[in-house]
Amino acid sequence: PGPILDVSEVTPGPGLANRHLKVQCSRGTFLVKVNAGPTEVLAAERHGLLALREAACGLDLVIPEALALGELPEQRGSFLVMDFFRFLPFGPSIPAVCERFGHALATLHSRGAAAAASVADGAHGPRYGFGGRDTYLGGSLQDNTPGEDFAQFFIERRLRPQLERATLKFQYRYGTTNEANTAIARLYDRVLARATDVLQPLRHCAPSLLH
Predicted pLDDT at 92: 64
Rounded distance, CA 170 to CA 3, Å? Answer: 47
The SS3 call for residue 140 is strand
HSE-up of 58 (CA within 13 Å, CB side)?
3
The DSSP call for residue 1 is: -
State pLDDT tens for residues 167-187: 888 777 777 666 766 777 788
Q: What is the mean pLDDT of the chain?
A: 84
pLDDT at 15: 63
CA 122 from chain center: how many Å? 30
Task: State pLDDT tens for residues 21-31.
Answer: 999 998 899 99
What pLDDT score does 113 carry? 60
Which pLDDT value is given to residue 91?
64
Best-predicted range by mean pLDDT (77-81, 85-89, 128-132, 206-210) = 77-81
Q: Is residue 13 pLDDT above 70, yes or no?
A: yes
Axis-axis angle for helices 178-199, 160-174 (nearest 10): 160
Strands 78-83 and 140-142: unpaired
Contact 194, 159 (CB under 8 A): no
At 147 the three-state DSSP class reads strand
pTM exceeding 0.85: no
CA distances 80 to 40, 83, 142, 184, 201, Å, are: 11, 10, 19, 38, 38
Q: Taking Cα atoms as reference points, which of 36, 41, 136 lies closest to residue 77? A: 36
- Dihedral pair phi/psi, residue 106, rounded to 5°: -65, -40
Confidence of residue 90 (pLDDT cuts 50, 70, 90): low
pLDDT in tens, 117-164: 433 334 455 688 888 889 998 888 999 998 999 999 999 999 999 988
Mean pLDDT of 66-90: 89
15-20 CB contacts, 8 Å cutoff, 24+ apart: 16/138, 17/41, 17/136, 17/138, 17/139, 18/42
- Helical segments of 76-136, H only: 94-116
64 compared with 15, residue with greater pLDDT = 64
